[in-house]
Structure 1
Amino acid sequence: MFQRSRHYVPPVWPPEDGRQQMMMHVDIEVPDLTTAVADAESLGARLADTQYQDDVRVMLDPAGHPFCLYRETPNP
């Protein structure tokens, strides 16, 4: 069951001491990173200001929860 909290504080990315931490972590494998980022943005997500890897994009959902989109690795 999901419910709203009127005292909700969005997590921060990257994590900072004393600030709300993420509550869970979701990684989504995608065939094309650029298209997946555009699709996520069209649904209300935004690209996080801090990115650490070329083949992963940290996104923030409309409530501020981070999730990662990462490029599929080709089969050998």
Structure 2
Amino acid sequence: MTDRPSLTLTTINIGSPDPATLAHFYARLLGWEVARVEETDAHLRNPAGGISLSFQLEDVFTPPAWPNTADHQQMMMHLDIRVTDLDTSVGFALGCGATLAQFQPQEDVRVCLDPHGHPFCLWLG
């Protein structure tokens, strides 16, 4: 085996029919700064450093189904967001524009959907 090259995960990129709208949603939800908004992408800077979020224009976009079903668009990934107060955090997320998913798999997790239907989890930790 050869020596491992330097590989650093820097950004999670999420497909969106409207990158600016999704960037502003997650900026409000997470308290992050919108670093750049362009026609085809938008970028959030993590104030603590580390991994950032980016949103890329998808001209043909179908929101994923939650929970997954064989006959609908599959969820490719989701964000896990640790919270200290689940009820308050869910209320805040809803105020930012999220919706609460009907199916909730665990007592200490709440699955929400962002304005474009991507699931994300608020988990008590």
TM-score, scaled relative to structure 2: 0.54
Larger radius of gyration: 2
**Counterpart selection for 1:32 from 72, 76, 85:** 85
Percent of residue pairs bearing the same amino acid type: 54
1:8 is matched with 61
Which one has a larger percent helix, Structure 1 or Structure 2?
2
In structure 1, stretches of 5+ residues that fail to align are none
* 1:63 and 2:116 are equivalent in the alignment: yes
Q: More relative contact order in 1 or in 2 (CA 8 Å, sep 6+)? A: 1
- Deviation at 1:52? 1.2
- Deviation at 1:8? 0.5
Q: How many residues align?
A: 72
- Deviation at 1:7? 1.7
Q: How big is the alpha-carbon RMSD for the aligned residues of Structure 1 and Structure 2?
A: 1.2
Return the letter of the residue paired with 1:66: P
Distance (Å, rounded) in 1 between the aligned partners of 2:119 and 2:110:
10
**Counterpart selection for 1:45 from 84, 98, 101:** 98
- Deviation at 1:26? 1.1
Distance (Å, rounded) in 2 between the aligned partners of 1:3 and 1:25:
15
Return the letter of the residue paired with 2:68: P
Distance (Å, rounded) in 2 between the aligned partners of 1:51 and 1:38:
15
Distance (Å, rounded) in 2 between the aligned partners of 1:23 and 1:52:
18
Distance (Å, rounded) in 2 between the aligned partners of 1:7 and 1:25:
19
For structure 1, which segment, 2-11 or 12-21, has the greater mean C-alpha deviation from structure 2 after superposition? 2-11
2:23 is matched with none
In structure 2, stretches of 5+ residues that fail to align are 1-40, 42-54
